[in-house]
Structures are given as structure tokens and as C-alpha cells.
Structure 1
């Protein structure tokens, strides 16, 4: 299937089932076994909206092991607009026999036969101005060298396919909103969450792994003052803790790294 044919099929899809099948057929011609799409803009949810053409056994494993909160690809997708591969992810070091949750997630994927994956993050606004973030992975089960050769020639085509696919998904959801399930439900719009400059600063330093004491020293403030700014930011973000607040701030575009 040529790229223009794939895009035409996507644009003429009338339902989410048709749209899912159109993308599956298109990426199969490139050699991918399937795809997984996740609404990445709601990190506070235990199970955000997802769809795709992955094995059901992988779906059960992913959900039962709570990989959605430990998936390093999903974490990175919230912080970038550029497609990347699983093999490019920097995973934490193992501590003795104990595997970090990010490592367990990727090990499980390999056990299911996925030798690599291309992740396409997208951050966009709908017609009402609400912010959305999504992460799509194309699953690769072939030889790593073949995967590298494919991306060197077709990475931009695959990125373009997802831009058209997500736009068509938004069009279908907007059309059928009264009858549709919760899909691509917008996160709290950034316009309705007004952090002060200081609140954005302390959350940005928290996103970089700085402690309250570190941030206080960097900004020339007391630890108590920094703690107060963080608490105010978390309240406005309706976040349960600092990690949750950082994730929401990044997903909403309030802070950047």
C-alpha cells in the first residue's frame, strides 16, 4: 500500500473500528505486526483509553502488571514530539537481582516476541482548544537490522501516518461524542490551570529530579517557601503528589524539560 493510499483510507474511515483496521493494514506493509495507541495525557488514570491490534495476552499482561505507570516509552512520549525507538530508551540500572519496573516492562515485551518498537508521540489541541497527548507504538517482531533499515527510509512516512490517523480519530469522536465511549478525553485544559511563575519554576526543577532543598538553593529561597509553592501548584493541578503533579504539568505543556 502506497503512502497516499494509506492516508486516503484513513481519511475515509467512518468508525473507530475502520480506522484501527486501516492503520493496521498500512503498517503491516512496512513489516510491523501491530500497534498500540494510548491516551497519554491523563497520567493520573489507572487505565487510560487505549486501542490497537496487539495480542490479547500482551494486553492482559500489560494491565495486570500495571505497566502503564512504569512504561519508560510512555514516560518519554509525554516529554517529546519526536518519534523514538524502544532500543534508544535509557533504562535504570539493575540493583542486584531486583529489576526496576521499567526494566520489567521492556523484558516482558521481549518475552512476547517484540524485538523493538517505534514510538510516535503527539501533542495537539482539539477544536475546543483542549490539550491532548497520545503515544503510539508500532510493534516489531523481526530482525533488529531490518528494523534499522526500515526506519532509515520510512520513519517520516510513519510519523505522517499517525498525524492523519489521530486527526481522523478526533473528527470521529467529535462527530459521535454523545454516543462514544470515553476516548481521548481531554486533560484539564492548561488555560484553566494558572500556575504562577514561581510555581512553574519549582515544578520544573522537580521534573529535573531536584529536591526541595536543591530547588531552594538554586532559586535563593527557603525550603519552607519552595514547599509552599509546590503545595499550591499541586492543589491547582488537582494532583495527589509531586510525581503526579510533574506528570500533569508536562502533559499539559505547563512546564517543559
Structure 2
């Protein structure tokens, strides 16, 4: 039996999709595309969102690989003392293609102590009422969009079947457009997440260079180098410089010449 969508909800969905499609075509990079998606999600009643992706969601040993995440309208330093690898929403959405309501995960009994701590941490940051749309891509790569409502009232509206259908449509249209305009490969992924300067600084740091050394090599001030490294750490969701270097090498964002 075909379910009927209320006329008002259908018009919102059609309008949001059409507006997003036009704005995505004008987007020149990932950040401007994310801004377009944010506006479409706000029109649906979601106040903030996170977009994550990884070329390899699971490592060869079966453990989860930490995705790279970009956010809009999230609290400052929301991910401090928080591990993507303990994120139960990420773990659950890897195994489904359907929208995942965070409340369903929070009330489950299959969460580890680390996952429960992750949920509590996000709740403390007012990141409680979320819906994640899994986006499985070619060659085993994976992405997701987690749309957040700011309170239980807006969540009730945002979690209605018509709203979830609209969210599902918007997120898949967004991802399909990204794949068409910026095909998934190491080069485009690098450009999307790290600037050329951030990659240069991390690459030299991986070779054992200090900030003073890097500043001299690149003709920059030491403070500018530290700023590039700090942004790279943030963009890679790393805890420090060594962690950022390790993640950049793992993701093939930088190459390290070995003697």
C-alpha cells in the first residue's frame, strides 16, 4: 500500500530539494556545499548537522576507522574528550541504509561503557535529538549526515515520517551531487579536508621538522605554521600533532619519504 504524504509536507520537501539542487550546482567546494545543505536542513526544522565520510569505515582487523567530520552550528569544542570510535550512532548506521533515530539507540541495551559515555557527552552538549542518514558509496566508502533538533518539540516535528522522508531525500541528493562534482578519490578528499598549507606543514612535521624548521622552509612565521597545524588537527579530529600526522598518513593525505 502506498503511504500518503500530507500536501504541506510534500511541498516543503519539493521546495527544499529544489533549492538545495540549485545551491549545490553553484557550490565551488565542499564547504559551500555543506552551507547549502545546512540551509535546506534548517528549512526542514533541524538546527545543526554533522557530515562525516571515510574511504575505509573498517580497518583490516575489523575495528572502526575514525571518520572525518565537518559540522554546522555545533557547540564550540563539542568533540573535546570525545572519540568517534566510541560513537554508537556511527557504529549502528554502518549496518543499515535506513534513517537512524538517536533516541532508539540511546534506549538500547547493547551499548558499551565507552559508547554510553559518548552519548552522555553529546547530550551534555545539547546534541541529543538527532537523526542519522547513512550514505553507503561505491568501493566500500561511507558517509553520513546527522541532523540535530534543538529540543524535544522540534524533534517531534522533525522525526515525523514526512520530515524523515524529506531528510532522507535531501541527504542522498547532496551526496550524489558531491560524487558527481567532486569524484571520490584521495586527491579530492585531501583538498576537501585539508588545505595545501596544512598538508605541507603536516608532511614536514612527519619528517621530524619543528615549527621553526617548517617556518624557515616555507618562508612563513612560526606562529602561522602553528596555526596551520592547529587547523589540521581540528579538521582531522585529532587530539594533538602526532595524532594528526598518524591520521593523515593512514588516510594517504600526506606521503612520508622513508630513508
Identify the match of residue 34 of structure 1 among 48, 54, 57.
Answer: 48
Please, what is the CA RMSD of the aligned residues?
A: 2.7
> Are 1:7 and 2:21 an aligned pair?
yes
Identify the match of residue 154 of structure 1 among 145, 158, 163.
Answer: 163
Aligned length: 171
How much does 1:183 deviate? 5.9
- Residues 183-239 of structure 1: per-residue CA shift (max 9 Å, x gap): 69xxxxxxxxxxxxxxxxxxxxxxxxxxxxxxxxxxxxxxxxxxxxxxxxxxxxxxx
Cα 1:177–1:12 shift into 2, 3 Å? farther
Name 2:134's counterpart in structure 1. 121
How much does 1:33 deviate? 2.0
Cα 1:109–1:85 shift into 2, 3 Å? same
SS of structure 2 residue aligned to 1:57: coil
- Residues 63-114 of structure 1: per-residue CA shift (max 9 Å, x gap): x332x111111011100000021001144379xxxx8111111111111112
Identify the match of residue 16 of structure 1 among 30, 55, 58.
Answer: 30
Matches within 5 A, 1:1-257: 2-3=15-16, 4-39=18-53, 41-44=56-59, 47-53=66-72, 54-59=74-79, 61=80, 64-66=81-83, 68-89=84-105, 90-92=107-109, 100-125=113-138, 130-142=139-151, 144-152=152-160, 153-174=162-183, 178=187, 180-181=189-190
Runs of 5+ consecutive residues of structure 2 not aligned to the other structure: 1-11, 194-259
How much does 1:42 deviate? 2.2
* C-alpha distance in structure 2 between counterparts of 1:38 and 1:29, whole Å: 21
Cα 1:101–1:12 shift into 2, 3 Å? same
User: Which stretch has the larger CA shift, 18-27 or 46-55?
Assistant: 46-55
TM-score scaled by structure 1?
0.58
How much does 1:182 deviate? 6.7
User: Which stretch has the larger CA shift, 38-47 or 12-21?
Assistant: 38-47
Name 1:252's counterpart in structure 2. none
How much does 1:32 deviate? 1.7
* C-alpha distance in structure 1 between counterparts of 2:123 and 2:181, whole Å: 34
Cα 1:139–1:149 shift into 2, 3 Å? closer
SS of structure 2 residue aligned to 1:75: helix
Do 2:57 and 2:66's aligned partners in 1 also have CA atoms closer than 8 Å?
no
